[in-house]
């Protein structure tokens, strides 16, 4: 939302910080930058997983991902791409 700071979930998407599964907002921002032309209606949770672990800043255990974590990343991406 305009005028409100982004959620603080552990990493600033622009400072090169290490990302973990807890950083759903920062991951979503990175994915938006990495895949700017993607249609979110065509994005699956599998794609979110694959793209996240491919991020150079991502430094977490790949086995910790689950549907809730991936859905949270998708939700953050969707909300950032479609502000009210």
The pLDDT tens digits of the residues spanning 39-81 come to 999 999 999 999 999 999 999 999 999 999 999 999 999 999 9
Q: Which is more confident, 63 or 83?
A: 63
In a domain, 9, yes or no: no
Total-model pTM: 0.80
Q: How far is CA 33 from the centre of its chain?
A: 10
Look up the domain containing 68 and give its range: 24-81
Please give the Cα distance from 40 to 17 (Å, whole number).
25
Reported as a pLDDT band with limits 50, 70 and 90, residue 16 is low
Residue 31 belongs to some domain of the structure: yes
The SS3 call for residue 6 is coil
Q: Is 8 a residue whose pLDDT tops 70?
A: no
Q: Mean pLDDT, to the nearest integer, of 4-9?
A: 44
Tell me how many domains the chain contains: 1
């Amino acid at each position: 939302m305009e005028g409100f700071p982004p959620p603080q979930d552990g990493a600033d998407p622009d400072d090169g910080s290490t990302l973990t599964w807890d950083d759903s907002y920062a991951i979503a921002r990175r994915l938006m930058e990495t895949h700017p032309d993607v249609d979110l209606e065509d994005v699956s949770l599998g794609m979110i997983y694959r793209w996240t672990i491919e991020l150079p800043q991502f430094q977490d255990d790949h086995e910790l991902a689950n549907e809730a974590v991936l859905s949270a990343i998708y939700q953050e991406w969707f909300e950032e791409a479609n502000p009210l």
